[in-house]
Structure 1
Amino acid sequence: MNPPAPSPAVGIRRTLRSALFIVVAMFGFGFALVPLYDVLCQVTGLNGKTSGVVAQAEPMRVDEARTVTVEFVASVNLDAPWEFHPDVTKLQVHPGRFYTTHFYARNRSARAVLGQAIPSVSPGPAATHFHKIECFCFTQQGFAAGEGREMPVTFRIDPQLPADVHTVTLSYTFFRLPEQG
């Protein structure tokens, strides 16, 4: 004799519980994916993320025999009221040596604004070899109405940069931050 079949209500509840569990698990995975992706990009240089501040600018062998072109690009997020551009668009650098360049930013609005520049380095494999020692992108930038200023970037390229990389592009996008209140 076979046991009695479960009622349809039991099957519906079991399916509902399973579906609810799947929805919660998908939400949790989606929520955790952003920080995991950021860590992955930070560690591997994927998507042009750089490692940020170099804690100590330790001595490094300068490769005088090699020259790498570093290109500088600036863009402004659509809702940011800035004029923003690099002072120079290209530099020829020797890996291992420090270089400083500047970007100019000016608030074009009639009120104070707060912004943040987000860097990206390409090609992707070069990101782990591009070391910024000083950068305006490390902190939020406050601008009074109409204020403009030069903002420095001090960097070097690690001599371990793959030999097939001859040009590295450092790109910044300037974003307006929400009003602090």
Structure 2
Amino acid sequence: MLIATTFQESFAAEREQAVKVRRSRSRERSRAYSLGEAPSDIVDRVRRFVLANLGLKPRASAIVGALGVSESRLRRAVLAATGLTLGGLVLELKLLQARSWLSSNRESRSQGEIVAALGFASAASFSRAYGRRFGESMTATRRRAVSGSAPQPALQDNGDARLDVMPCKSLSVQGL
């Protein structure tokens, strides 16, 4: 009987310790959420992650794992800060990076190499997205950079105000 009582006490103590650990982890998580990282801060972290992994097509789960926030929190923060979905933000960042590379006289990569470096399998679909976003072809952007003429406005009135007015200052890829 003494052995059974000791076993029960030991089991109860281990279970109590496990409950304490779970509660403390839960408090830490809830404290982190209650401190509330601003949506623009989360978008800045997403931007850094995407730009560091340009050749990949990052899934939400990979971004969530790298940032340490829940997927729903991530999606809400991106939508609140930019008016874009998470996929839309990733595409926007890649389009801005492509425009930066194409506008640089120092960039010697071809358009196909740029598209591949950004992780796109289809140059045609990327080219269409680029044209819709900036109102000019990638060739026109490159030609303008080589000739030194004034740049076209980066934002085009395409009827979707959320894409035209980017409320988050963090979407710039300049200075990277």
The normalised TM-score by structure 2 is 0.30
Q: Which one has a larger percent strand, Structure 1 or Structure 2? A: 1
Q: Using CA pairs below 8 Å that are at least 6 residues apart, which structure has the higher relative contact order? A: 1
The normalised TM-score by structure 1 is 0.29
